[in-house]
Amino acid sequence: MAEQGRPVTGQAAVDHLLDLLDLTPLGEDSFRGVSPKVGPQRVFGGQVASQALVAAGRTVDPSRSVHSLHGYFVRPGDPAEPIHYSVENIRDGRSFSVRRCVAQQHDKTIFFMSASFQRAEEGLDHHAPAPVEVPPPEQVPTMAERLARYPDRAGHWAMIPRPIDVRYVGEPGLVPPGGRPADPHQRVWMRIDGELPDDPLLHACLLTYASDLTLLDSVLSVHGEVWGPGGVIGASLDHAMWFHRPFRADEWFLYDCWSPSASGARGLATGRMFDREGRHIVTAVQEGLLRRVGA
């Protein structure tokens, strides 16, 4: 995926991600997905969750949009092995459709998810305000600019495709120990770094993918901790999302994350996504396994 030692970025990286989300149908309720050839040693959690949502969504009337999902990561995924997604139709009611999707490799479940879809309706409308005094994304350093100061920390991140423009308002979780002041919030501007078709399900799947990128950073942020040597290693245990309002994943959104609790080698993180107009578009909650390196 990299050419002459440089990662694929921009529209080329976005197109590659879209290819990953274009699952191969194996039947009415069965699909096959693959993983990038260049990437981490295990399947990225956001990938398997977003692919599972693609599979579930393909079995639902397109007039119904996903409004919530709840998933559990059961086993690490093997990026060299295709992933089989099977979808169970739990219910199609007058307003809601509910699906259960199971992802398997080597005949074992690696992830399962329930997702609910709703036809458009009018009703009460309110939301808590977006954070104030947050600089716009144009005034925030890119991830590459931040990590240029720490080349030994960039690791494989510097080489993998980057379809999402990620801009931390504070310091990212890869900054060395001592370089990150404790902060109760971790705020990140994000957007898909290219053009997307007008498919609401696809935009929801891409925000599902993006939501797993930085959420657990907020647990580390409370303690001024770091990923990797001198810090902790982690893995997603479960993931839940609620989609509140229409949005586009290729437009900037602010991911405002914080951690209400960490104990027992687990950390809980919650994040709210706001568009540039301050509309609350998505809420995400995740618990992750966090262990000291070498523990």
C-beta separation of 227 from 173 below 8 A: yes
Q: What is the pLDDT of residues 199-219, one digit of tens each?
A: 999 999 999 999 999 999 999
Please state, in angstroms and rounded to a whole number, the distance separating the CA atoms of residues 67 and 207: 13
pLDDT band for 158, please (50, 70, 90 cuts).
low
- pLDDT mean over 132-146: 91
Retrieve residue 128's tokens.
């808590």
Residue 154: pLDDT over 90 = no
Q: What is the pLDDT of residue 100?
A: 98
Is the per-residue pLDDT at 148 higher than 80? no
* Band (136; pLDDT cuts 50, 70, 90): very high
Band of pLDDT at residue 153, cut at 50, 70 and 90: low
Q: Tokens 């770094």 map to which residue?
A: 193
Q: How confident is the model at residue 2 (pLDDT cuts 50, 70, 90)?
A: very low
Q: Residue 281 and residue 206: Cα distance in Å, rounded?
A: 14
Residue 161 DSSP symbol: -
Report the b/e string of 64-90 with b at 16+ CB within 10 A. Answer: bbbebbebbbbeebebeeebbbbbeee
| pLDDT tens profile 53-97 | 999 999 999 999 999 999 999 999 999 999 999 999 999 999 999
Residues 6+ apart with CB under 8 A from 138: none
Q: What is the mean pLDDT of residues 232-258?
A: 96
The percentage of the chain sitting over the pLDDT mark of 90, rounded to a whole number, equals 74
What does pLDDT average to over the chain?
A: 90
pLDDT at residue 3 in the model:
44
pLDDT (average), residues 259-270:
96
Asked if residues 265 and 290 have their Cβ atoms less than 8 Å apart, the reply is: yes
Look up the pTM and report it. Answer: 0.92
Which active-site residues does the annotation give? 212, 236, 286
Tokens of 183: 């902060």
Average confidence (pLDDT) over 246-257: 97
pLDDT for residue 4 is more than 70? no
- Spatial separation of the C-alpha atoms in residues 101 and 83, rounded to whole Å: 12
Using one digit for the tens of pLDDT, what is the confidence trace for 30-39? Answer: 999 999 876 6
- Superfamily in which the 10-120+141-292 domain is placed by CATH: Acyl-CoA thioesterase, double hotdog domain (2.40.160.210)
